[in-house]
Structure 1
Amino acid sequence: MPQRFGFRVLKRLGGGRFSDVYEVGDAQQPLSAKRYALKVVELDAERPPHNARNEVSIMGKLKIHKGEGYSVNVVKLLAEFTNPMEIGLMLPLYKAALHDVVSHHCRVRTRFNLDGSTSKVVRNELTVDDIRHLVVGLLDGLAFIHSCGIIHRDIHPSNIMFKDIDSLDPVIIDFGISYDEPDNNGLEAPELKFTDIATGYYKAPELLLSVRNYGTGVDVWSMAIVMALLCSEGGTTPFDKDAAHSDLALLSNIVRVFGSPPKDWEDCKGSRSFAAMNEHFFASEPLPIDKVLPKVATVDKRMVKVFRGMTKYPSKERWSAIEARKGLIDPEEH
């Protein structure tokens, strides 16, 4: 049986362009049932903003945070290993990602159409209480990350894990492209951060317009889109499929769903792209909230209010993670 950093490799769980993740067991105790996730990064293959050494540094910073204690909604680094070619990060093993959990709570039904044909309809059966529990947990985790001076920069369903398919206790993972304020350990100046961050639908609008002096608001926007997925009828975001692969299509979809940004949007002051957008895009009104958050629009006004606060275009007006959490727990906060 192959080994990595002295652990038995049981199977490959996944990975990306710069890393592989394995389920491993203790090679010294082959009969032990303990299992871990081992993320292995090939250092020569990395490209900015991916940086495994910085990831280890950031996860170490999270562990020594002097706040109220480590968040149960954030993955914890158990150990690190290095050799001349690779870095290994030992992490708890989680068996399901957010998409798996949402799919587990969706039911596929057959619809009989007027023309005699049939079609499949996916119905999200997460309850409002389930959604609230998930969102509060995610905001707990994000607030902890931000309190440590870290911008995660890649909040999306594959980076939200659960111990198993039946769990509703989310854990935020993967700090491979995260930013450690104030200058990412000397890698990026505050006003010159990388904009090639975030994934698909979950990119904040300022990133699409090449704003480089962004802050934690990019994570809050991403989390709001995760919230929209949880509150959807079919376990999807309110965006078209093309928006996952094209920044221009995503920007168009954001304007369609959330309406046009203010013409004096401070984040984009001086941006040629935004000036051109203002000149050529027609003004657009936001979609009705029952089209964006159909499962909660009429039954949970607090969740609607929090979502609107998390999706304000100006980042200075966008609610923080802690404000959003308080808005869900205490309706008098805003």
Structure 2
Amino acid sequence: MSKQKNKPWDEKWEIVKPIGGGGQGDTFLVKPKESAILSRSFVLKILKNQKDPERRKRMHREVAALSTLDCPGIPRLIESNSDQFATDVPLYMVAEFIEGKTLSEILDPAQPMAIADAINLVLKLLETLQYCHNLGIVHRDIKPDNIIIRCNDISAPVLIDFGISFNECDTDNTTLTPAWQQLGNRFLALPELQVNSSMQRDPRADITQCCGILFFAIAGSPPVTLLDCEGRKPHQRPESQKALAKHPDDLLAKVNGIFDRAFGTQIDYRWQSIPELQKALIDCVSATENARNAEQYIARIQNKVSTSSDYARRQSFKELAQQLVKELYNVSRTVAGELGEGFGTIHDADAINLKRRGIARVTIDWVKLRFSQSHGITNEFLPNNFSPNFTGYATGNELVLLADVNGEKVELLRTPLNCEPDLTALGERLRLFYLEGVRKLIGA
């Protein structure tokens, strides 16, 4: 056998360096020997078990699949000699080199992806998968090692390794994977890809594996099995819940709903189509966007309020009102205490919080910029109470506090809105006002 027959790729391609490999073949970074395109790099894949007829046919199937695909999410096939799978010529293929790391390499298990980023990654992956399914190609081996993140841009995943894919358009209609042989991977074992399954070509397996990718991206670990020994799905296991707890509760609840369905043991109860799963994922992203919008709306509302022309005036009025109401409450109680046994106070509902928690609650009419409260003094032996109604209102740049006793109005305070009131003077005025009112009431 000649050297060229031993290494038929040597005629056109120069190996730059090895870049790893999988179970099916070894891969190398290569460049073409033609000077016109020396600046570009490509990937050379050389079949490992060249004497294994099944492996040779499988490589031919992979090349056949790639030759029909033209999609940004799949490496473009450059050339191959896999059509010679029935001979003893060493088989190889050359494909587009995708600059970037695999999802396994780029993800830090200790710092998994945000849910929104992971969903966008899977949505892109599903677009590629839908393209494949439309052409009758089922990948069957979707895992982090088979996803390259183009230029390490998480929104640009590229699906590689179609070595165990199934293509409905194969002309020879041969079966490379007998029922007694297991398919799939250790990333997520699926019953439909196990030994003696009649559903090894079911495209819904790809959809479930994509849900596994979503789980891996946000939990930082592979799902491995649909159910563990205690009947728990991947997202229900203690170690997973600890990792998932880092994500927002409302968003995580929606994603858990997707996992509840994705990891069912019966394929008929899982996600049945790519558009159906895409819609559920988009709804999750929309929930995230709505949450972000809510925060933006809050900020915009707060900014609008704080920058409005009368915001400072309203804020000053509120703070003054709280101070005055607290003074009204305290002075009435002080006077009742000074008057001695049998005297007490009576207040309206807004003043209850002052007694319970020391908080001056004020109901303000923001249209008229005014408030009204009642604080009075009682005596258990008298038929009537001295219970004036106090009203505070803004006029110009001032707040005026009035007391109303049987229709007679008394001005107790007039103070600028933007200054601290003289509470000492107000306290003395209120004290005399209450004492005068009680004196008149009892005729003393």
Same fold (TM over 0.5): yes
Match of 1:35 in 2: 41
Match of 2:222 in 1: 237
- Structure 1 residues 210 and 194: alpha-carbon distance in aligned structure 2, compared to 1, 3 A threshold: closer
- Secondary structure at the aligned position of 2:93 is classed as strand
Match of 1:206 in 2: 192
- The one-letter code of the counterpart of 1:186 is N
In 2: Cα distance, 1:310 partner to 1:15 partner: 30
Match of 1:98 in 2: 103
2:253 corresponds to 1:253: no
Check the 8 A contact 1:194/1:212 in 2, yes or no.
no
2:80 corresponds to 1:80: yes
2:41 corresponds to 1:54: no
In 2: Cα distance, 1:303 partner to 1:157 partner: 19
> Of 248, 272, 280, which aligns to 1:327?
280
Residue-by-residue CA offset, 1:59-80 (whole Å, 9 max, x unaligned): 22334xxxxxx3x222332332
Check the 8 A contact 1:229/1:236 in 2, yes or no.
yes
- Structure 1 residues 125 and 55: alpha-carbon distance in aligned structure 2, compared to 1, 3 A threshold: closer
Match of 2:407 in 1: none
Superposed counterparts of 1:302-321, under 5 Å = 302-319=254-271, 320-321=273-274
Indicate the larger mover: 134-143 or 31-40.
31-40
Q: CA deviation at 1:230?
A: 0.6
Q: CA deviation at 1:168?
A: 3.8
2:40 corresponds to 1:13: no
Check the 8 A contact 1:10/1:22 in 2, yes or no.
yes
Residue-by-residue CA offset, 1:64-115 (whole Å, 9 max, x unaligned): xxxxxx3x2223323324565233222121231111111xxx3xxxxxxxxx
In 2: Cα distance, 1:330 partner to 1:251 partner: 24
Q: CA deviation at 1:308?
A: 2.9
Q: CA deviation at 1:175?
A: 0.9
Match of 1:276 in 2: none
Q: Which has the higher helix share?
A: 2
Q: CA deviation at 1:296?
A: 4.5
Task: Note the aligned Cα RMSD (angstroms).
Answer: 3.5
Residue-by-residue CA offset, 1:207-264 (whole Å, 9 max, x unaligned): 34642324112222222222111111xx21255xxxxxxxxxx5762763329xxxxx
Check the 8 A contact 2:121/2:155 in 1, yes or no.
yes
Give the TM-score, by structure 2 length: 0.53
- Structure 1 residues 238 and 153: alpha-carbon distance in aligned structure 2, compared to 1, 3 A threshold: closer
- The one-letter code of the counterpart of 1:325 is Q
In 1: Cα distance, 2:111 partner to 2:12 partner: 43
In 1: Cα distance, 2:173 partner to 2:230 partner: 35
In 2: Cα distance, 1:326 partner to 1:9 partner: 44
- The one-letter code of the counterpart of 1:211 is S
- The one-letter code of the counterpart of 1:100 is E
- Secondary structure at the aligned position of 2:30 is classed as strand
Q: CA deviation at 1:36?
A: 0.8
> Of 208, 224, 231, which aligns to 2:211?
224
In 2: Cα distance, 1:210 partner to 1:291 partner: 36
- Structure 1 residues 220 and 49: alpha-carbon distance in aligned structure 2, compared to 1, 3 A threshold: farther
Structure 2 unmatched runs, 5+: 1-6, 286-444
- Structure 1 residues 186 and 58: alpha-carbon distance in aligned structure 2, compared to 1, 3 A threshold: same
Give the TM-score, by structure 1 length: 0.68
Match of 1:129 in 2: 116
Q: CA deviation at 1:132?
A: 1.8
Check the 8 A contact 2:208/2:263 in 1, yes or no.
yes
Q: CA deviation at 1:173?
A: 0.7
In 1: Cα distance, 2:105 partner to 2:32 partner: 27
Check the 8 A contact 1:231/1:295 in 2, yes or no.
no
The percent identity for this pair of structures is 22
Match of 1:66 in 2: none
- Structure 1 residues 308 and 50: alpha-carbon distance in aligned structure 2, compared to 1, 3 A threshold: farther
Q: CA deviation at 1:134?
A: 1.1
- The one-letter code of the counterpart of 1:298 is D
- Structure 1 residues 145 and 16: alpha-carbon distance in aligned structure 2, compared to 1, 3 A threshold: same
In 2: Cα distance, 1:251 partner to 1:231 partner: 17
- Structure 1 residues 200 and 189: alpha-carbon distance in aligned structure 2, compared to 1, 3 A threshold: closer
Check the 8 A contact 1:101/1:166 in 2, yes or no.
no
Superposed counterparts of 1:158-237, under 5 Å = 158-181=145-168, 185-188=172-175, 193=179, 195-208=181-194, 210-214=196-200, 215-232=202-219, 235-237=220-222
In 1: Cα distance, 2:42 partner to 2:55 partner: 27
Check the 8 A contact 1:60/1:77 in 2, yes or no.
yes
In 1: Cα distance, 2:229 partner to 2:120 partner: 26
Identify which of structures 1 and 2 has the higher relative contact order when contacts are C-alpha pairs closer than 8 Å and 6+ apart: 1
Larger radius of gyration: 2
| Count, aligned residues | 269
In 2: Cα distance, 1:184 partner to 1:178 partner: 15
